[in-house]
Structure 1
Amino acid sequence: MDFSDDLLRRAEPSALHYPDGIIRSLNDAMAKALDRPAAQSVGSYIWELVPARQSSVVKRIVAYANKQQLAMRVLELPRPGRCLWSPS
């Protein structure tokens, strides 16, 4: 078992993705948040599956992770009552 398995056990909706933003795996909470089965989400770009108002933010998060050359690429959505991004 690797560290990525632990990340997907979190209560928050979480998805592991490749550097280009394609989903590698996701937990049940993320599948529910995206309102589609995990099998239909794997292989898709993460920003294509989130609400349109969040897609540009998700693209920027993925680009930032690539720029920083982060080893583990996990997108975790906030719990209910918190937001992914809010304009200042």
Structure 2
Amino acid sequence: MSDIDAQFAKAQADVKDLPERPGNLTLLRLYALFKQGSVGDADGDKPGFADIVGKYKYDAWSALTGTSQDTAKQQYVELVESLKNGESA
């Protein structure tokens, strides 16, 4: 396991123990970075109008198209670290 993969795995565990729940936009950013880091570019059909949450999640992930998985993992780790330190919400 590479260093970034280990940090990414630790950040996934750490995100469950944050001191406070992040705001919705931060949660979308976490979701998008997680998906880009673990799966890569968004694929499949975009959720329909009735699935508002799914649509926002897909759009956030799709916005990262072209971002390398390692870059997304690094950004995810950095975001979780800032949340743990109370720097972002």
Q: TM-score range by the shorter chain?
A: 0.3 to 0.5
- Name whichever structure is richer in strand by fraction: 1
- Larger radius of gyration between Structure 1 and Structure 2: 2
Q: Which has the higher contact order (CA 8 A, sep 6+)?
A: 2
**TM-score of the aligned structures, taking structure 2 as reference length:** 0.35
